[in-house]
Chain A
Amino acid sequence: MPNQLIKKYFRMDKLPHIWCPGCGHGIIMHSVIRAIDNLGLDKNNVCIVSGIGCSSRAPGYLDFNTLHTTHGRALAFATGIKMANPNLDVIVLTGDGDSSAIGGNHLIHAARRNIDITTIVFNNNIYGMTGGQYSPTTATGDKGTTAPYGNIDRAFDLCDLAKGAGSTYVGRATVYHPNVITKLTEEGIKNKGFSFIEAVSICPTYYGRKNRKGTSVDMMDYLKTTSINVKSLSEKEKWNNIEKIVIGELYNMPASEYTEKYQNIIDIFEKQSGNMSR
C-alpha cells in the first residue's frame, strides 16, 4: 500500500529527498499524503504551500500544485491563493521557526480570519536548515548553536497560540504517531476554516546532538513515553500540561469562514446588477 501511495502522489523523479537519515519530517509528509488519499481529494485541486526550512522542502516531492515561498511567508501566499480561488484545497506545510518566528504574524492573522487553510507544522524544536539555532519552540535550558549556554527564552505552545488566535480546529501528534497525524489532518481539511496541526518531529542531526538526546530511535522512544492522549486529561490539563506532549484533537469549534463571508459581499452586487460589467 505505501508503494501505491508513493506512486500516486510523489514526484518519483525528485526523490531521494534531502532530509538526513533518522529525520522525522518524512513521516509527517507521508501521513499528510495518507490523509489526502483517505479524503479522495482531486490532485489538480490541491495546492500545497511552504516557506523555507528543512520541512518546507516537502512540497517539491509532492505531485500537486506546489509553491515553495519565502521564509515565514507561506501562510500569506496561501491566503492570496485561497482568497483568489476559494475552490482550491490549500494546505500549508511549515516549520516551527518558519511559522512562529518570522511567520508568527501571518499565523495569528490567518487563524484570526478563520480562512479555510490547513496548516501542518513540522516542529523539531530547532532551526534545522540553518544548522541548529534555537527556535521559539526550543525549551528553556536546551541548547542550540546560538544558545551555547542554554536557551533563556520561554517556548511557545504552538497549539495554544493557534487556538488563542482563532483557529477553529487544533490538534497535535508526534512522528511516533503517524496515524494520529493522518487523522488530525483529515479532520483539519474537512473543517471549513483555519485548521492547525502541530506534528512534533525530530532532528537528530542538530537538536538531538546538541542536547544529547541520543539516536533517532532514542528520540522516537522519548516521544512515545512523553506523550499522552488528550482523552485521558481534564480540560485544564489539556492546555497546561508542560510535562507531557498532549496529543489528539485539542479544539474543534466551527465558525463562519472568511472566503465565504467575502463571497456574500460579491453576491450582493451580482444580484443587483444581474450581469456584471467586466
Chain B
Amino acid sequence: MDNVKLMQGNEACVEGAIKAGMRFFAGYPITPSTEIAELSAQKLPRYGGRFIQMEDEIASMAAIIGASLTGLKAMTATSGPGFSLKQENIGYASMAEVPCVVVNVQRGGPSTGLPTSPSQGDVMQARWGTHGDHGIIAFSPSSVRETFDITIAAFNYSEKYRVPVILLMDETVAHLREKVELPTDEEINIYNRIEPSNIKQEDFKAYRVRKGNTVPTMTPFGGKYRYHVTGLAHDETGFPTNNKEEAEKLIERLVYKLEKNIDDISLYEEYRLDDAELAIISYGGTARSAKSAIDCLREQGIKVGLFRPITIWPFMENKVIQLGKKFKKILVVEMNLGQYVLEVERVASKYCDIFRYGRVNGKLIHPDEIISKVKEVYKNA
C-alpha cells in the first residue's frame, strides 16, 4: 500500500509534476500556492532537477521559458496578483510556442483581495489575460487525486501542443487533505516533445510545421540545431517578419492548433446526468458542493445531474450546445459573479434557459445554497 497517502492538493500537484518529468521550477511565494514552491524546492534536487526562487513572478515566468528552451520540463506556481504579473510572458510562451505549466491557485480578488480565501475569479484572466489572439489550455481539478492526474496531463498537453498550460486550481482543492491512491508508473502516460531529425543546419527551420501536423517539432538550445526565438511575429524560420500573410498564418495557427484538436483536449465528468431534468455546470472545488446537492435533491425526487468541465479552455462549445439542446434549464455554479457562465450563455442560450449562482465573499458555496437555487429555478418554470 505504498501508493496510498494522505495528501494535500498542492502536494499532489508537485508529485504529479515530478512524475510528468518536471525538472525545473521557478517561483515567487504567494498564498495559497506557496506549498507548491516549497515542495518543489525540497524534491527537485533529489531527481537531479533544479529549483530557483526568482525576484518576482515576471522573472519566474521568464525563467521557466528559458529552462524549457534548454529541454527541461518546467513549471511555475502562483496566485491572483502573481498570475496577473505573469501574463506578458505567458503571451510570450504562446507566441514562441514554448511548453510550460503555470499553476494558478486562485484567491479572492481583485488586487490583493482576500488572500487566504477560495475563489474561481480568474477564469477569464486565464483565457484573456495576455494581449492578442492565441490559444490557451486551462484545466481545473476537483480533487486531490485528480490534481495529480491533471498536472501530468498539463505537462503532456503542453509538450504536445507547444503551449503554456494553466492549471487553474482553487484554494478548496489546493489545501484539502484527502486519502489518495496514486497510480503505478505503468498506468501513467508521459508525452515527450518530438525532436526534429535528419535535417542539415542550413535547411533547419525551427517553426516549420510538417504536413498533417499542427505544431512544429522542437529542439533544445545547446542541442543539434542553432536557431532564433522571438516574441515578434515570425515566419517558419523563427525570424521576425512584417509580412501580413505570414503573421496571419502564424496567429491563426496558434489559435486553431488547439481548436482543431478540441476533442483531444476536452476532459470532463458527467454525474447522474443521464436521466436528469436539470443540468448543473460546475467545476473545481465548487463541483464537490454541487455533487452533494445533487445527491440530496435526488433523495427528494428532483432529478438533477452535473456536467463538470475539467478542461476550462478551450471552451467545450459542442458539448455545451448538446447540453443546451437536451436540458430545458442549465444552472452554472461558480465562485465568482459570472465568468464561465458567459461562455455557456454564448453558445446555449438559444436552446435553453441558463441560470447562474455565484458568490465572491471568500466563503465556499454550500450544497444547501445550491439546493435552494435549484428549487427556485424549478419553481420559476
Residue of B nearest to A82 (CB): B66
Counting chain A CB atoms within 10 Å of each CB, which of B47, B62, B72, B226 scores highest?
B62
**Bound CA span A100–B101, Å:** 29
Residue of B nearest to A62 (CB): B228
B-binding segment of A43-51, A120-128, A185-193, A219-227: A43-51
A277 contact set on B, CB distance < 8 A: 47
Contact A84 B47 (CB under 8 A): no
Determine how close the nearest CB of chain A comes to the CB of B29; give it in whole angstroms: 15
Per-residue interface assignment for chain B, residues 57 to 73, with 1 indicating a CB less than 8 Å from any chain A CB and 0 otherwise? 01110111111111110
Q: Is A6 an interface residue (CB 8 A)?
A: no
Q: Is A145 an interface residue (CB 8 A)?
A: no
Determine how close the nearest CB of chain A comes to the CB of B293; give it in whole angstroms: 43
Q: A68-B232, A105-B59, A109-B54 are in contact. Are A84 and B46 (CB under 8 A)?
A: no
User: What are 26 A-B interface contacts by the 8 Å CB criterion?
Assistant: A44-B222, A47-B221, A60-B230, A63-B226, A64-B226, A69-B65, A73-B89, A76-B60, A78-B66, A79-B59, A79-B62, A80-B62, A80-B74, A82-B66, A83-B52, A83-B67, A84-B68, A84-B72, A84-B74, A85-B220, A88-B70, A88-B222, A106-B62, A268-B45, A270-B48, A276-B46
Contact A85 B45 (CB under 8 A): no
Determine how close the nearest CB of chain B comes to the CB of A61; give it in whole angstroms: 10
B68 contact set on A, CB distance < 8 A: 80, 84
Contact B226 A43 (CB under 8 A): yes
Contact B222 A69 (CB under 8 A): no
Q: Is B195 an interface residue (CB 8 A)?
A: no
Q: Is A265 an interface residue (CB 8 A)?
A: yes
Contact A79 B228 (CB under 8 A): no
Contact B66 A278 (CB under 8 A): no
Contact B229 A67 (CB under 8 A): yes
Determine how close the nearest CB of chain A comes to the CB of B292; give it in whole angstroms: 39
Residue of B nearest to A52 (CB): B231
Contact B230 A83 (CB under 8 A): no
Per-residue interface assignment for chain B, residues 162 to 193, with 1 indicating a CB less than 8 Å from any chain A CB and 0 otherwise? 00000000000000000000000000000000
Determine how close the nearest CB of chain B comes to the CB of A31; give it in whole angstroms: 21
Determine how close the nearest CB of chain B comes to the CB of A232; give it in whole angstroms: 37
B231 contact set on A, CB distance < 8 A: 68-70
Q: Is B26 an interface residue (CB 8 A)?
A: yes
Q: What is the interface size of chain A, counting residues whose CB is below 8 A from a CB of the partner?
A: 43
Contact A65 B227 (CB under 8 A): yes
Per-residue interface assignment for chain B, residues 106 to 123, with 1 indicating a CB less than 8 Å from any chain A CB and 0 otherwise? 000000000000000000
A109 contact set on B, CB distance < 8 A: 54-55, 59
Choose among A45, A60, A276 the residue that contacts B48 (Cβ–Cβ < 8 A): A276
* A contact residues vs B (CB 8 Å cutoff): 11, 14, 43-45, 47, 49, 59-60, 63-70, 73, 76-85, 87-88, 105-106, 109, 262, 265-266, 268-270, 273, 276-278
Contact A278 B24 (CB under 8 A): no
B50 contact set on A, CB distance < 8 A: 83-84, 262, 266
B252 contact set on A, CB distance < 8 A: none
A269 contact set on B, CB distance < 8 A: 45-46, 48
Determine how close the nearest CB of chain A comes to the CB of B147; give it in whole angstroms: 21
**Bound CA span A60–B54, Å:** 27
A59 contact set on B, CB distance < 8 A: 228
Residue of A nearest to B240 (CB): A60
Determine how close the nearest CB of chain A comes to the CB of B201; give it in whole angstroms: 9
Q: A47-B222, A276-B47 are in contact. Are A79 and B54 (CB under 8 A)?
A: yes
Contact B63 A79 (CB under 8 A): yes
A77 contact set on B, CB distance < 8 A: 62-63, 65-66
Q: Is B274 an interface residue (CB 8 A)?
A: no
Q: Is B239 an interface residue (CB 8 A)?
A: yes
Contact A68 B72 (CB under 8 A): no
Within 8 A of A (CB), among B207-253: 220-222, 226-232, 239-240
Determine how close the nearest CB of chain B comes to the CB of A11; give it in whole angstroms: 8
Contact A85 B228 (CB under 8 A): no
